[in-house]
């Protein structure tokens, strides 16, 4: 019997559009011969599924189910495709854990930790497996001292929302007088901000997923952006960035990045597909941690689909492995 899979998309953040694009790619690449897929759009106003005939059906949040044509539809698993809150920050994961419905992503605690860039940096630094840039963490409702920040950190710095993705609200600050405007821009997206020292080098990202009893490492991708940094436009506008997969970096550096990514996956108790981002410093060859993305994009321009294809897999096989691993959780 085919399993019922809920594909959850949308969300409450500025990444709504990217989430919907990711869901479209995921939906068309899930094997319809094996799974019944119900795409569910989540917004602050409602959670709903649109049936093939165009009728809209509200989700019963008491048990996360649907009623369509007199049938009560429950789900064997959930494929979360939401970037940002509430699908990447642990909120939905906690909800599904309480209902006993397995999902394809990391659990509630890991998702919440990695979603906050500042707290994640502190934990990763404590693990002592990779370099982490110096940074400051400030809050909208607490006083902060720009002069003190610049005394602690060396320019240039990146100013970014602590809880956000797709580089929305992010700025590179090269001069002290630019800091206040960058902080205001980031605070328009989030109530807390990470201000982090810039590391000059090559951005390299590594996709990893657990399936079939083992951790799989996808080919590395090297980011070559024509812009000053890998911002929203660079990520999602074709031609702005040259993404090279496999990454054309020295083999020892590539091996080290893969090793660090694998260790972080296990030490942070990850599940499903994650993407670990790093900077290979130009002057020293040292590897610096950027972030761990537990809900990496799956749109046509996203990095993980590129890495999956470079690994010689189809997206259908890849998503099938994620779903089957998720279903295995019920048996354990």
Strands 71-73 and 66-68: antiparallel
102-125 pLDDT, tens digit per residue, is: 999 999 999 999 999 999 999 999
What pLDDT, on the 0 to 100 scale, is given for residue 1?
Answer: 87
Q: State the average pLDDT over residues 36-64.
A: 96
Are 114 and 42 in contact, with CB atoms under 8 Å apart? no
pLDDT higher than 80, residue 226? no
pTM: 0.91
Q: Average of pLDDT values for 83-103?
A: 95
Residues 6+ apart with CB under 8 A from 243: 221, 222, 223, 224, 303, 306
Which position has the higher pLDDT, 176 or 235? 176
Total residue length of the chain: 332
pLDDT tens readout for residues 239-268: 567 899 999 999 999 999 999 999 999 999
* C-beta pairs of 156-159 under 8 Å, 24+ apart in sequence: 156/198, 157/195, 157/196, 157/197, 157/198, 158/194, 158/195, 158/196, 158/198, 158/229, 159/183, 159/185, 159/186, 159/193, 159/194, 159/195
What are the structural domains of the chain? 3-104 (3.40.50.20), 112-131+199-331 (3.30.470.20), 135-197 (3.30.1490.20)
pLDDT tens, position by position, 184-194:
999 988 899 99
Q: Which residues pair with 38 in a beta bridge?
A: 6
Rounded Cα distance, 303 and 222, in Å: 10
The yes-or-no verdict on residue 89 having pLDDT over 70 is yes
Average pLDDT over residues 295-307: 91
Query: What's the angle, vertex CA 258, arms to CA 206 and CA 92, rounded to 5?
Result: 45
Confidence (pLDDT) at 81: 94
215 band by pLDDT with thresholds 50, 70 and 90:
very high
Q: Give the 3-state secondary structure of residue 12.
A: coil
Residue 50 has pLDDT above 80, yes or no: yes
């Amino acid at each position: 019997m085919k399993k019922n899979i809920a594909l959850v998309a949308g969300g409450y953040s500025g990444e709504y559009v990217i989430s919907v694009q990711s869901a479209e790619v995921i939906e068309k690449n899930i094997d319809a011969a094996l799974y019944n897929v119900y795409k569910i759009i989540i917004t602050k106003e409602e959670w709903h599924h649109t049936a093939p005939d165009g009728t809209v059906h509200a989700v019963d949040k008491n048990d996360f189910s649907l009623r369509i044509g007199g049938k009560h539809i429950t789900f064997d698993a959930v494929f979360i495709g939401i970037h940002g809150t509430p699908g990447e920050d642990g909120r939905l994961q906690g909800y599904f854990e309480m209902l006993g419905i397995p999902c394809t992503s990391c659990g509630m605690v890991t998702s919440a930790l990695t979603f906050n860039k500042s707290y994640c940096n502190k934990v990763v630094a404590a693990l002592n497996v990779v370099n982490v840039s110096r940074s400051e963490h400030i809050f909208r409702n607490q006083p902060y001292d720009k002069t003190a920040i610049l005394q602690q950190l060396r320019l240039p710095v990146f100013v970014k929302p602590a809880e956000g993705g797709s580089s929305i609200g992010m700025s590179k600050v090269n001069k002290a007088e630019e800091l206040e405007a960058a902080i205001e821009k980031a605070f328009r997206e989030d109530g807390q901000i990470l201000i982090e020292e810039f590391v000059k080098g090559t951005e390299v990202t590594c996709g990893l997923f657990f399936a079939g009893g083992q951790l799989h490492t996808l080919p590395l991708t090297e980011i070559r952006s024509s812009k000053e940094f890998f911002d929203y436009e660079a990520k999602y506008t074709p031609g702005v960035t040259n993404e090279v997969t496999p990454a054309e970096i020295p083999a020892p550096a590539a091996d080290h990045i893969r090793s660090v990514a694998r260790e972080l996956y296990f030490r942070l108790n990850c599940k499903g597909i994650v993407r670990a981002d790093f900077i290979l410093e130009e002057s020293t060859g040292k590897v610096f941690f950027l972030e761990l993305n537990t809900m990496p994009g799956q749109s046509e321009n996203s990095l993980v689909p590129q890495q999956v294809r470079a690994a010689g897999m189809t997206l259908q096989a890849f998503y099938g492995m994620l779903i089957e691993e998720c279903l295995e959780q019920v048996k354990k």
